[in-house]
Amino acid sequence: MILEFPSKKDNCRPGLVEAGKKIEDESFRIIDAEMGDHGFPPAEWQVVRRVIHTTGDFDYAQRMRISSGAILRGAEALKSGARIYADTRMIRAGLAPWRLEWFGNEVVVPAESDETREIAAKTGVTRTLAAFRGCGRGLAGSVIVIGNAPTALHEIVRMISDENIRPALVIGVPVGFVQAEESKNRLWRLENQPSITVLGRKGGSTIAVAIVHSLLEAAKTGK
């Protein structure tokens, strides 16, 4: 028997195909049933549940922290077409193009610039830290997404505290053993800055992507 696969063009229609949507819905049903009572408001649970769906790890329900109004602020910013600043190409690659097209959100990875490499080499800081420092007030009103670089998250927290730069939302979920936990604790302690984080060592680009996808869905559906 010869199997015929759809062409790339045919396979690029926006959204989930019916079979994929059924699997996702059943996955969410299973997560709801196994999680039971959780205490999250409905909007927050949508974010936490998508992270659990991405990882298969219910521990995230204990580790995730979502500041008051963070989901609303993030969804509103995305709906208005805000830029998404990411620390890695992995985040940009993971974000569904058809979701980004809903509101025309551009994904910027500042560390891609050759200039940031030179600045980092001269100043002795990491490339991602130098990259976000160079963005300055361009970060105002944006959605910042950090999945791998705790040094960048430390710098963003400093810029918010010392330079009064105000992103619409900071999603800070760097994974790792060096500075990751500390950077997320600093973000969570910030006052008057909408944020979503995962306490401890867990996190990463896949978590960051799941959170952004959930916010884009919230912006589209109003839920």
Do β-strands 64-66 and 195-198 pair in parallel, antiparallel, or remain unpaired? antiparallel
**Which one from 38, 53, 154, 213 is the annotated catalytic residue?**
53
Rounded CA-CA distance 117/139 in Å is 20
Residue 162 neighbours by CB distance under 10 Å: 8
53 included as an active-site residue: yes
> For residues 220 and 102, is the Cβ–Cβ distance under 8 A?
yes
Helix, strand or coil, per DSSP, at residue 183: helix
Question: Which residues does 121 contact at the CB level (< 8 Å), separation at least 6?
Answer: none
Rounded CA-CA distance 207/76 in Å is 21
Residue 172 neighbours by CB distance under 10 Å: 31
Residue 182's Cβ-side half-sphere holds a number of Cα atoms within 13 Å equal to 8
Residues with catalytic roles: 53
